[in-house]
Amino acid sequence: MNTQNRSSELASGQVQALLKKYRADASFKAEFDAASTREDAVQVAARHGIAVSAQDIAALGEASSELSDDILDVVCGGGMPPEFNFTLN
């Protein structure tokens, strides 16, 4: 396995850890959402033992910017919006 693939696997595992913690830990979610920049969010994650980059967080934001079926339901009057929100400056 080359170094680039290994780095991608590690980053992916850390991103999954971030998502899991974000969904399960209300205090982490509040602290993470309060971050005013991606770099601040990286520091929040690091304080909780999660090593992600600003690029990882940007990619999460891009991935969540597409309209999911849940969001489309909300826009069409079908319910409450999901809690997951990675909107950082």
Task: Report if residue 70 sits inside a domain.
Answer: yes
Range of the structural domain that residue 43 is part of:
3-75
Structural domain contains residue 22: yes
In a domain, 82, yes or no: no
The total domain count for the chain is 1
Q: Is 78 left (phi over 0), alpha (psi -120 to 50) or beta?
A: alpha
Q: Give the tens place of pLDDT for each residue, 8-20.
A: 544 678 888 998 9
Q: Per-residue pLDDT for 5 more than 50?
A: no
H helix intervals, the chain: 3-24, 26-34, 38-47, 54-64, 69-75
Does residue 65 lie within any of the structural domains?
Answer: yes
Q: What is the pLDDT of residues 35-71, one digit of tens each?
A: 999 999 999 999 999 999 999 988 887 655 555 565 5
pTM reported for the whole predicted model: 0.61
